[in-house]
Structure 1
Amino acid sequence: MSLPALVSLPVSLEPFVQRAADAFLAAGGDWTNWPDARRDAFARVCAASDFVAEQVGRDAQLLSRLADEGLLERTLAAGELRAQLAERLADCTDENDLAVLLRRYRNRQQVRIIWRDLTRQADLAETCRDLSDMADACIDLAYQWLYQRQCQQYGTPIGYRSGRPQHLVILGMGKLGAHELNLSSDIDLIFGYPESGETEGAKRSLDNQEFFVRLGQKLIKALDAITVDGFVFRVDMRLRPYGSSGPLVYSFNALELYYQDQGRDWERYAMIKARVVGGDQLAGKELLELLRPFVYRRYLDFSAIEALRSMKQLIQQEVRRKGMAANIKLGAGGIREVEFIAQAFQLIHGGRDLSLQQRPLLKVLATLEGQGYMPAPAVAELRDGYEFLRYVEHGLQAIADRQTQMLPDNEADCVRLAFMLGFEDWTAFHERLLYWRGRVDWHFRQVIADPDEDENGDDELLGAGEWSPLWEESGDEESASRQLQQAGFADGLAAWRRLADLRKASQVRSMQRIGRERLDAFIPRLLAQVVEQQDPDLVLERVLPLVEAVARRSAYLLLLTENPRALQRLLELCAASPWIAEQIARYPLLLDELLNAGRLYTPPQAPELAAELRERLARIPEDDLEQQMEALRHFKLAHRLRGAASEIVGSLPLMKVSDYLTWLAEAILEQVLALAWHHTVARHGRPKRVDGSLCDPAFIIVGYGKVGGIELGHGSDLDLVFLHDGDPNAETDGLKPIDGAQFFTRLGQRIIHMLTTQTTSGQLYEVDMRLRPSGASGLLVCSLAAFERYQGTEAWTWEHQALVRARVLVGCPRVAAAFERVRGQVLGRERDLAVLRQEVSEMRAKMRDNLGTRSSHAGTGENAFDPSVPFNLKQDAGGIVDIEFMVQYAALAWSHQHPELLRYTDNIRILDGLEQAGLMTGDEVRLLQDAYKAYRAAAHRQSLQKLPGVVSGEQFHDERQAVMRLWRHLGLD
């Protein structure tokens, strides 16, 4: 596209020129020797730009020097901008001086660049290049100056592996990375350093991470802080791993691991433009090579196409935001759409076609044409439309040196913008702008559109169009009910009234305009998919509470509108489980989990689960307990949903679901213990052992019951016992010392607090501590020695039964091994079998009396198998607890002869051990295992249906009778 034409100065802008001229002359400016062309340029520039007028009014010599040096009329040579700044910084004495010099240099160059842009002496490419080169010079030279001073103070950072001095690598992202910076852009940066180590050469050494964090903070301040001289560049660090919540600086290893394991699609888009703009260029080249596989996939595969689909969704979410219609970057047909078109081809084909692995957008467009990815006319329109929009962007920002892409809302600036773009008036300019935005948007839709959609759009494809009038109440109740019934609803009137109730809900009535527009777009799509479900009445009943819950946070509605597959998964899960429907309604953040079916239905293994949680918490400040607790809860909610979803679709069988939920609890407990230990030690110091050594932490969390038996369900609580091996009387080594007993009690209290406190994201787990020695009246945390004494002399038989299912979940390996020794000694002693049978039978009888079904005498009455009499899966005769008690009896009775029975804590593997030891036949073991699995599967289904663990008495006849027969065979009546 050719440069915008010059037009004569509108009369309405003449007062701006007069004010600028008066200020310039009052400040000592002199234009007596200026040629007429320069005076005309002064009038043109100051009429358009308040920023330039303000600068020449503050320092008239700035413009005079630029003019005298000929810098207003010529293009700068490569490296000239850097040389000018280097000369200015040669005598810089301190950080305040650095700030002043950088800002004055920036203001000088900004005036020169705007001048040349508005007088059409510089084209778009030169303007962007100068702005980017200026940013490079400011970033790198400020960094080099600060690095030398910080090395003098803290020593030089040295890498452990290489033994060489380390430098920061500063990556410029976005427009800076592509050398496309605009007139008032912020700069997106990422900081990295090659390797860990510490400083050398100063009294006080720092590790490299801390050294570079401090240096990065100083660099940001040098560039970003606003002073009387303004700022240099607004610095945005949110593109780094984990965004604002992550560390400011990362080692290369940490960056590589993050992008390899957790990098998201939008981070691939961002990394396309990454360029080393400061610091160690050679190391930076190495870093970009490390990250290249993350950005460019080797093959054109399904994941690349899915990334394109996700990109489409992200764009459409942005362009529909409130107020974005007037935004020439983010709105429809804006700059962002051209960028995403180019990046789409880069992501799909860049791994194989190296010519696409470049940063500047116009060069990518040229490659797309040259390589045949897009037809020449389409590329020409995109290029011309993009350049026009960039000129508009520069015009908007030249006015007040303000980062904006919004069209002006006042007449004076409208006149200015049209004038800068070479149009006689706003109407002519706006017509041209609408033309280019329309062409860009058309090409955007051609490239990004899902090929499964038809030409007329999503509404017709999804059947949503026919539901819009119904939702908008264009008909009466009778016709609406009839339409719903004809579409598949059993009770059309009830469905219509549910929709009417949603419309009347306070959450909906108080929605802002953009939110209501999103709701109006979403409901027809929702209905179109609901009628495809097997039971649309039930699905609508379950999903509408979620819609009402998120109505005020309409981004969630947009997410589902833009992701039909996610909406389909939501409806399928809601149809299958009211528990899931309720969970998502209570915690809408779970909707994010529906975007990726692979992740949703293929939960990670235990090591990956623990590593993911560690990484999430690593980005949170150590002392931010509130944020840590929220992160733990979000993690638990997300993974619990994955477990339930996987069970519903059958990708995880029952036993694997319990494994997964148990691993989840262990991963959370591991981090809760670590956090609680950190906070308690920070306050009181570390406790000591009897030998005087410091605890590390000499503390374990023992799981009983379902968590101990690796059999957690969807709503299970945790039966826990806390044990330590410290000296209860020795004081901790902190500034506020307390004795060991108090320390471990407070540690236990903090753990329970972190697990049970209700936040906006609920609680982590309900915790039952009654299985500790002496129950509720005993100490919260017990020493291992006291636990051993109690189990050996005071514990009841039922407590030894519970110990069969006890295992260490997390904590000190040394104490864990000692606990296993104690457990083995307690459970492995020889017992009087007659007494044991009597005590186990009596305890079971008490439980049946108190917890079983009264109408059937806990499943022992004559009516126990009557369909009208419920069967309690857990407590009634022949149920879960009978099997558990038989396993526990067998372990207590025979483990002194067969210690291998104590190897495992779950019932299934203990039963396997009984068969291997010849204590039960294979048929008996299989019978108990199958019955146990069947009961637990039924209990899981009941839980997901939000029903109690009770089924009809006509169910499980064979299993119940067989279990009761074996119960009697063991003499446990």
Structure 2
Amino acid sequence: MSTSERSQSLTHLARLGFSRLAEAEAQLVELQGLLGLERDALTGSAAHAADPDAAVSGLTRIARRDAGCVRALLADPGGRRALWALLGASTGFADFYLRHPEELAHLAGADASLPSAEHMHTALLESVGAKDGFAADGSDTSWVALRVRYRQLLAAIAAFDLLSASPVDQVGIVAARLADAAAAALEASLCVARTRVAAGGPGAGAVSRDQVAGTRLAIIGMGKAGARELNYVSDVDVIFVAGADDALIEEVGESRVVDIATRLAVQTMRGISGVEIEPPLWEVDANLRPEGKQGALVRTLESHLSYYDRWAKSWEFQALLKARPLAGDPELGAAYVAAVQPKIWTSAARENFVDSVQRMRERVTENIPAAEVPLQIKLGPGGIRDIEFTVQLLQLVHGLTDDRIRQRGTLDALHALVEQGYIGRADAATFSHDYGVLRLLEHRVQLRHLRRTHLMPERPEDLRVLARSSGIADSGEKIWQTWETVKREVRDIHVRLFYRPLLSAVASLPEQERSLSPAQAHDRLAAIGFMDPVGALRHIAALTSGLSRGATIQRHLMPVMIRWFADGVDPDYGLIAFRRISERLGGSPWFLRMLRDSSGAAERLTRVLSSSRYVGELMEWIPESAAWLDDPELLRPRSGVALQQEARAIQSRHSAIADAARAIRALRRREMLRIAMSAILGTSTIEEIATALTTVTEVTIQATLRAVRREVVPAQDEALDFSVIAMGRFGGSELGFGSDADVMYVYRPNGVDPHRAHELSLQLVSGLRKHSEDQRVPLDLDADLRPEGRNGPVARSLEAYIEYYRRWSLSWEAQALLRARGVAGSVKLIRAFTELADDVRYPASVDPQALREIKRIKARVENERLPQGADPARHLKLGPGSLSDVEWLVQLLQLEHAHRIPEMRTTSTIAALRAAQAADLVPEASADRLAEAWRLASRLRSANTLLSGQTSDVLPTDRKKLDGIGRLLGYPPRSATQVEEDYLGATRRARRVFEHLFYG
């Protein structure tokens, strides 16, 4: 061959996928000589080989031994394609054909179809000369014949698989055929075992052929073999069950029958996996039997059932999910499977069943060697086990009451779970596709050397071969990327579905609640806490009736959610609110999907709805807020910056003040709801909630003021400065749910006619009040803390404030300014007002008469401002030791000492108290008691509003309401007395401190 011809030849080989070109060229030249074939006849099917170099190397070795067999097969187009595909994907098959070149003849036409289960069963029984359950020969020769015939059939399956246009889609069919082949091999090996035992094989003793024939042995397939999902080289998990007719048991005794069956089982296993002339097929693993390796290899059906009734662990029932008769006595096998089925499908009701399954999956991952974790196709995170465990757990939990999802196969079960609404279509489609990809990768890495492995290769050349053999990528780099993508998808879905609380809740439902008649349901609802069981049944029926997918999912959710509602404060209201929200979101598929699939959204929704009418009423207006329950970050109050940006965007979109104000009110409602849900679910502290409520109020006032000003103040009067000053708890950033927003209004004409400036300011105040009004979530802008109170002007100029405070200010007005803080309008004007306020509220010296007046006013407030008939001890705002005691004491200390102690110059009650403590004005223990009472009163006040949806400053006497308030504060159920005692005790202690420091 000339240099030019050699170069062209090597180039052609490179195009076909060869990489070791010189070596391949030499082997092809040798093959031409051995076979007498032209080059094209040899390489015409090389493109079907994942690794052409390995294929030509194997082909050369086989041809050296038997050129005739190779030549005959290559003459058949289908056989030629099958041979190149097999040898290019599997050095194991190259070794097999090197040992048995005559078997090549069976590859003719192997690319066209799969061998049927019946064909394989017949072929393997023929290989051992089986007749009436016995093999013709009990020698090792029969086992060799069995193994050779099995690999002949395996090659036909592999050839079909490798030459398939879409191997991912064929994974289920191929895996089923592999399981059928394994079952047939076990049947044939059992025939040999009967012959060996009856002929006095090793350790057989005196066993007659009739005794062997009368002994029934059922081989139950477990795991992938039972589910017809077997790999090319996988352990075949089995359980052996013994039995016999009454005559034989009477003749030899049950223990003797078990002994004979045990010998049959041992010989059957040896025929498959013992070390003989022909290599073993696979490991027959009987470790899933009762007591595992320590237990008897073979038991009677009664012994198995006794064990499962008394001793079996949860994982053993999970394993039995895939149990199927594989070989041996079909009636005994069917009886075994039928007997264990009820035990499988009630196992999820065992205590902590779901936790045990979850923990078992975690242990599997923990036991993987660290170096193998990123390579594990089967056991690692995002691997096959994640899909299998997820599907099995869903089956076992929901299969308690739904026999439509009781399937052995993973894909069959996945399809049933989708059809019955237990898993979303998108998640199931991803799982199904990714399962196919993972199983295909597993098949291909096992075919490579016909060896059991579940590890992705790491070497680039091995990844390239895997890419070509699988057909799911065109390079080693891309198949690795595909593998990583699949792992991420699988892990994400697994974590969401496998660990969702709904599973534990369904599994722990009492048996009597899984299926109830209407009368029983009525009684059960009443028993678990529903005050109106008739109404509850009506709402349940409305949610679950019909054939829609939504109604199907609601039927799955309802038993558990009813339980969760019953655990809440007001289950009746919670259920009503849930129905209303469900109806509002009826056309939104994400809602029910989220409740079913989320890691806790359903439970959180029942909790907020049954705990708070405030939340329930708002959620009816903003039903899409349910989505927040699936993401803890969405339940966190949003920052002031984010809210300001949204508010400004609203103003830019809406030129009409009514439209802008409507959008701003919607923003406030939404954020108030978010904060309320956060408060109930405990994702924010009391301080964070107060700050968030204050921020939302500030942003609402700022945005509304901008919109009103744009309409009220004409361009020629634009110089007018106007600001809103927060007072009281608003000024202290201490708002609770239902708190008024105390404010004052200040303006500065800046060249605008003073009368005109005053009129415009009043219009701004009027517009601000009008457009911030919200019947759904009231926002009361209360200006009663202004100079002269209700008798004074609603808005004053800065100069008027200066003049007033210089000439006529009363002590209580200086006290009120201690919490003044600018929140909206002109920044320069706010700064000027703050300087004025500082001069008044932090005086260099305080007139003793002014202090006496403050104390006198405080005493009068206690006597005169309490609502008629109210119990002072229960008033959260004005009662002894409550909010006003703490705030008045702190404010008195600020008036006296803030001028010399800068740290006390704050609008925050607790910050000022701690500054006073640091300055030794208040003992630490006293400060702690005051802070405890103030915080508890604040929390109780907010909780009261959240519970009832109405504002109240009085601690209820109703025990149910008290219990509900306590639950919102984190108390256990039925803690009404404890809540009451804690509050009264805290305020008594605070009152003693107050009287000592305030009046002392």
TM-score, normalisation: structure 1: 0.46
Q: Identify the structure with the greater helix proportion.
A: 2
Q: TM-score of the superposition, structure 2-length normalised?
A: 0.45
Q: For the pair shown, which has the larger CA radius of gyration, 1 or 2?
A: 2
